[in-house]
Amino acid sequence: MATRRINGTPPPPDRPTRRVGPHRMIGITATATGALVLTAVIIATVTAVLPGDTCAPNATCTAPATGNASTAIAAASRWLGTPYSWGGGGLDGPTRGIGRGANTIGFDCSGLTRYAWYQAGVTLPRIAADQWHALPHIPPGQQAPGDLVFFQSSGGGPDDPGHVGLVLDANRMIEAPGTGLNVRISRYTTRQDLTGYARPAHNGGGSAVADPPRERCCQTSPPRRRQARSSVRSRKNAGSSSRPRSRAR
């Protein structure tokens, strides 16, 4: 099996076509022609509003994807079938992760959404919780293709989501789900841990935000608290310098 390169090269090898809904087929291919076909199929999927299929119960049908949302969706769709890698995913595509993802080239959930929207001209924060806090929130039922859908982390509160996906329509999203799984299309409306929705800038939301340090890459692990020895020394020095000095007579 050939090793897949990352920057500027096609995604994973040919995969069989699979049915994902009435009258819809998504083929996952690796050739340049196949990538264009996949992009066209995904965009056609999210721009077509079919009664009873793209509308969740008691929810309003989503509007067709805008140009920038279509770009983000097509970018994420290009990597369907790519392995999940904790801490993986950069602005140019899948990368080797860190920690338990150190041996896998792929995306984690927020790495995928960040990559997708970067292709549409928006730079998002690296971890899911920061993406949630940086963007304007959207009421349930008003989410549109390209919006981000967030899920509560285990042990965390509703304002500290640990997972994020990219909305395709009123029922489905593209996500990097977790270790041992691949980037996929799945339903989000049936999940009990759904926190809410947020809208990136070029999808009608707020402004693009700065890129935080990579050390905070991973959505399921709290940032490590490290205290440098130099900071301890600086406090000691500050304390000694505050003591009154006797004046020379």
* Residue ranges per structural domain of the chain: 18-220
CA distance 121 to 128: 19
Active-site position among 55, 61, 109, 217 = 109
The alpha carbon torsion through 160, 178, 168, 88 (nearest 10 deg) reads 90
Active-site position among 55, 61, 137, 163 = 163
The alpha carbon torsion through 93, 40, 109, 152 (nearest 10 deg) reads 160
**Is 163 among the residues known to form the active site?**
yes
pLDDT single digits (tens) 62-111:
444 557 999 999 999 999 999 999 999 999 999 999 999 999 999 999 99
Per-residue pLDDT, averaged over 151-158, amounts to 82
Contact (CB, 8 A) for 214 and 126: yes
**Residue, of 227 and 80, whose pLDDT is higher:** 80
Active-site position among 23, 55, 133, 175 = 175
**Percent of the chain, pLDDT > 90?**
50
Q: At 238, is the pLDDT very low, low, confident or very high (cuts 50, 70, 90)?
A: low
CATH number for the region 18-220 comes to: 3.90.1720.10
**Is 215 among the residues known to form the active site?**
no
What pLDDT is recorded for position 57?
39
Length of the chain: 249
**Is 109 among the residues known to form the active site?**
yes
**Residues facing 173 on adjacent strands:** 167, 186
Give 72's Cβ-side CA count (13 Å radius): 35
**Residue, of 131 and 241, whose pLDDT is higher:** 131
State how far Cα 45 lies from the chain centre: 20
pLDDT single digits (tens) 49-65:
333 333 333 333 344 45
Ramachandran bin of 234, using left for φ above 0, alpha for ψ from -120 to 50, beta for the remaining angles: alpha
State which amino acid sits at residue 41.
V
Global confidence as pTM? 0.63
Contact (CB, 8 A) for 26 and 38: yes
